[in-house]
Amino acid sequence: MDKNKIVLMYPGQGSQYAGMGLKYLDILNEFNSYFNQASETLNEDLIEIISGSDGKAVKLENTLYSQISIYTLSAIISDHLINHQFLKKDYIFAVTGHSLGDYSALYLSGYYDFKQGLELVKYRGTLMSKANEKMDGMMAAVLGTDYKALEELLINYKDKFKEEVYIANYNDYGQIVISGERSNVEKAIDFLKENGLRKIIPLKVKIASHTPLMKDVSVKVGEYLDNITLDNPVFNFYSSTSLSYPKKKEIRLVLEQQLISQVNWVKSIEYFLKEGANIFLEIGPGKVLSGLVKRIAEKNSKDVLIFNTDKISDLNSFKDFLK
């Protein structure tokens, strides 16, 4: 299989879990400094939070801590693969992320250094945490239904209750995420179940991401980015919200608009498949994106290889493939 068609994928908030990536510290000890920098940024010990020492694992459910931890782990694994030349630069067809994952993808692409990314993720996460305190948002995954049917039902919901619930993520053909104010989403879930959609799972986030409700946060992220000078990229970054390869001058707007725009993972992966990408590597905690790609590829009758880095054995499987 051609190795120059690899797509690197970075997961977003919700992929975090207690203990994630800690075993990597035993074999990638040159990257302890990354966790140290993240701890300094938070003014708390990030490893203690991830390991759950003294009951601190509950903090991983907080938007700020989950985003910092996911970004840090994703950066560590990325740099290990690139710096030790396991993953040669000409192998990489594109780099993409799912929501927060864009920030990890942009780091690997070369737009900013690790410390700049930390500060940016911290600022974004802090804004989102504060917004959640005021908004009380909610997101939920709707499983096993066609997106067109769901879109029609949400139109009916809006007509009936005069309230808006938004589609935030098109994750695969049978997994769509809805988002909005908690009271509206809870009411919409009841409405959808009454209309035959039985499998709806609330997500472990407390914010209405990827909806117009995030406008204030979106604008502030844009203002923050006005003060950042981006470097020239090394890899091609593909945005799963704008569905494009943004130029450097467009990155600011893409990140500003990201929080009020839908993540269309389905169309993103369809594009990669159409372009001949046949190897997908998920870098960071969990295997959510790997599962989504598997189902999208199967639906399109495409034969692809999918790897992840959730465990050391998973990373080693990818290294063995590259040999």
The pLDDT value recorded for residue 85 is 86
Question: Is the four-CA dihedral 55, 59, 65, 66 of positive or negative sign?
Answer: positive
Name which of 47, 63, 97 is nearest 235 in CA terms. Answer: 97
The rounded distance, in Å, linking the Cα atoms of 319 and 80 is 11
Catalytic residue set: 99, 210
Confidence of residue 29 (pLDDT cuts 50, 70, 90): confident
| Residues of each domain in the chain carrying CATH 3.40.366.10 | 6-133+212-322
Cα Rg for the chain, rounded, in angstroms?
19
Kindly report, residue by residue over 292-306, the tens digit of the pLDDT. 999 999 999 999 999
The model's pTM: 0.95
Helices and strands (H and E) in the chain: how many: 13, 10
Name which of 86, 57, 69, 70 is nearest 9 in CA terms. Answer: 70
Q: Residue 321 carries which side chain, given as an amino acid letter?
A: F
Name the pairing type of β-strands 92-97 and 237-238.
Answer: parallel
Residues 21/113, Cβ–Cβ less than 8 Å? no
| Residues of each domain in the chain carrying CATH 3.30.70.250 | 140-202
> Mean pLDDT throughout 95-112?
98
> Mean pLDDT throughout 9-33?
88
Whether the per-residue pLDDT at 80 is higher than 80: the answer is yes
> Mean pLDDT throughout 269-279?
96
3-state secondary structure of 69: helix
**Token pair 């400094």 in the structure block, residue:** 33
The rounded distance, in Å, linking the Cα atoms of 104 and 121 is 9
* Architecture (CATH level 2) of domain 6-133+212-322: 3-Layer(aba) Sandwich (3.40)
Whether the per-residue pLDDT at 1 is higher than 70: the answer is no
Whether the per-residue pLDDT at 202 is higher than 80: the answer is yes
Q: What is the CATH number of domain 140-202?
A: 3.30.70.250
The pLDDT value recorded for residue 2 is 65
3-state secondary structure of 62: coil
